[in-house]
Amino acid sequence: MKAIIIGGGIGGIISALTLTHQGIDVELYERADGNPEIGSAVQFTANVTNIFQRIGSLDVVKACGSPVEVRHMREWNTGTIISTNRLGDTIAERELGSPYLVFQRSELLDRLGELLPAGVARYGMRCVNVEQDQDGVRAVFENGHVAQGDVLIGADGIRSTVRRLVFGEVEPVFSGKVAYRGLIPQDELPDFDSYKWTANAWPAPGQFLLQNFAGRACINLSLYRSGQRLEDLDTGHRTAVVSTEEVVAFVKDWEPSAVAWLSKSREFLRWPLFDIEPLKTWTEGRVALLGDAAHATLPFIGQGAGQGAEDASALADALALTPSDPVGALKLYEEFRLPRASRVQLESRARSNYMMLRDPFAINQRNLQWREASKAITGYFGNSVDHWILNYDVSKAFRDHVALKSGNTAA
Ligand SMILES: Cc1cc2nc3c(=O)[nH]c(=O)nc-3n(C[C@H](O)[C@H](O)[C@H](O)COP(=O)(O)OP(=O)(O)OC[C@H]3O[C@@H](n4cnc5c(N)ncnc54)[C@H](O)[C@@H]3O)c2cc1C
């Protein structure tokens, strides 16, 4: 069994790791000349870190992840704490069996890439065509190279070429929200150690600021703004570098510590936020979509890459289960994964509005709900409405799904 993966982002690399772990041959092709990730942060919750635990790479992941212990939600204009989420390494491990970690994206991808056998990942390879028949599937690259395999995984992101070639055009949907992301390296913060490992968030009318970590030696800042129009952005849907002055001006009447954090980043990356409508299918014969290509998701519950990791786990388990029937294995993967990933997409849309409410009455209700929840229960589950996302073992859920199906078939 040989799998060809198109795309070497977080989804593609984790898929290469889970497939390799199952003894499946992999070739991964990325169009960029090297690691395609930029700076800024990505979080993995317990439903994702338990996948690394299973494939034996949690130590590597832990070594570059920040074990954020506590996140305070604060009033944007006073800094008063609204609620406290206990997230951390030890708390998550105790309650969910696997840690919560935040990474610097490019560092995470470097470390994961190093776990792959030599020669698996090939860079500077842009896929331009996909062909399949009953004997196999071929990917054709811009430079004329042709890769041949039993299955092909399109892990090539929200504007996926594989998806367009095999499933037709799917237009990404602009959310009306824009993220401004900045980084402050440890050596620019003499008091860095005093922040360990506490994050802060300020939900404001139409805006949301998160100060978190990006790996063990960087602080990440993300300011989200709603009610935005693409026509007002000089670079349209593309990301762009913008000045600190521009971003600080958005928060000029906020409480001083929020303004101070934003002032510390040298520049920001402006990131218009898109997702796609949930798809009806992710597989066609020997071709399957994975990660953002299948279910690009807004970042408001921090699960986009995590859902790609769950895909990667289930895909490898499905192919290992029926190696002689790759087409059936891909269908099983789709049937198992599509409902959950679609639910996460829709929940992230809903949450994006909830976190940036404008109506004062609705804001009071929401903050009261957060405050009461954090008073009532302590620990990771304290004020989390996301049990169904976090308290989830994709490998076990896949086995249960298969058992239920075979029970049903037998009945
Ligand atoms: C502001 C923001 C914050 C986020 N925070 C989180 C978070 O905290 N936690 C989380 O889980 N998720 C988060 N996400 C979502 C997460 O970043 C994405 O879901 C994830 O990076 C998608 O990974 P992917 O590998 O599917 O796609 P991508 O990262 O887009 O990778 C696709 C790769 O395919 C390559 N490619 C494209 N076309 C071709 C081709 N024709 N041939 C070869 N290669 C090709 C690209 O160069 C790219 O490297 C966030 C997203 C945003 C925008």
**pLDDT tens-digit profile of 113-138?**
999 999 999 999 999 999 999 999 99
What is the average pLDDT across 168-194? 95
All CATH 3.50.50.60 domain ranges of the chain, comma separated, are 2-64+89-171+277-410
Q: Using CA positions, which residue lies closest to atom 20 of ligand 1? A: 305
Q: Which residue has the higher pLDDT, 96 or 13?
A: 13
| Cα 211 to averaged position of ligand 1 atoms, centre (Å) | 21
| Topology of domain 173-275, CATH | D-Amino Acid Oxidase; Chain A, domain 2 (3.30.9)
Residue 156 beta carbon below 6 angstroms from any ligand 1 atom: yes
Which one of 5, 6, 10 would you pick to mutate in the ligand 1 pocket, going by the greatest count of ligand atoms within 8 A of its CB? 10
What gap in Å lies between CA 25 and CA 6, rounded to an integer? Answer: 14
State the pLDDT at residue 411: 43
Q: Give the count of beta carbons closer than 10 Å to the beta carbon of residue 269.
A: 18
The residue ranges of DSSP E strands in 18-64, in sequence order, are 25-30, 41-44
| Cα 305 to averaged position of ligand 1 atoms, centre (Å) | 7
State the pLDDT at residue 390: 87
Q: Using CA positions, which residue lies closest to atom 30 of ligand 1? A: 157
Q: Give the count of beta carbons closer than 10 Å to the beta carbon of residue 234.
A: 9
State the pLDDT at residue 228: 96
Token readout for 124 is 């500077």
All CATH 3.30.9.60 domain ranges of the chain, comma separated, are 173-275
Confidence of residue 150 (pLDDT cuts 50, 70, 90): very high
Residue 258 beta carbon below 6 angstroms from any ligand 1 atom: no
Which one of 5, 31, 152 would you pick to mutate in the ligand 1 pocket, going by the greatest count of ligand atoms within 8 A of its CB? 31
> Of the given ranges (60-74, 85-99, 123-137, 293-307), which has the lowest mean pLDDT?
85-99
Q: Give the count of beta carbons closer than 10 Å to the beta carbon of residue 183.
A: 22
State the pLDDT at residue 284: 98
What gap in Å lies between CA 336 and CA 313, rounded to an integer? Answer: 12
What gap in Å lies between CA 221 and CA 218, rounded to an integer? Answer: 10
| Chain CA centroid to CA 12, Å | 12
What is the average pLDDT across 347-355? 93
What is the average pLDDT across 327-345? 98
**Res 378 pLDDT > 80:** no
Q: Are 235 and 244 in contact (CB under 8 A)?
A: no
Q: Which superfamily does 2-64+89-171+277-410 belong to?
A: FAD/NAD(P)-binding domain (3.50.50.60)
Summarize pLDDT for 156-168 with one digit per residue, the tens. 999 999 999 999 9
Residue 7 beta carbon below 6 angstroms from any ligand 1 atom: yes
Which one of 47, 125, 156, 340 would you pick to mutate in the ligand 1 pocket, going by the greatest count of ligand atoms within 8 A of its CB? 156
Confidence of residue 94 (pLDDT cuts 50, 70, 90): confident
State the pLDDT at residue 382: 47
- Helices 46-54, 89-96: axis angle to 10 degrees equals 80
Summarize pLDDT for 196-250 with one digit per residue, the tens. 789 999 999 999 999 999 999 999 999 999 999 999 998 888 999 999 999 999 9
Q: How much is the mean pLDDT over the chain?
A: 93
Summarize pLDDT for 380-395 with one digit per residue, the tens. 554 456 788 888 999 9
Q: Using CA positions, which residue lies closest to atom 52 of ligand 1? A: 299
What gap in Å lies between CA 394 and CA 328, rounded to an integer? Answer: 19
Task: Express as a percent the part of the chain with pLDDT over 70.
Answer: 95
Long-range CB contact pairs, 53-57, < 8 A, 24+: 53/98, 54/313, 54/395, 55/17, 55/18, 55/21, 56/21, 57/17, 57/112, 57/115
What is the average pLDDT across 178-186? 96
Measured from the Cα of 179, ligand 1's closest atom is: 1
| Cα 253 to averaged position of ligand 1 atoms, centre (Å) | 34
What gap in Å lies between CA 30 and CA 113, rounded to an integer? Answer: 12
State the pLDDT at residue 346: 96
**Res 264 pLDDT > 90:** yes
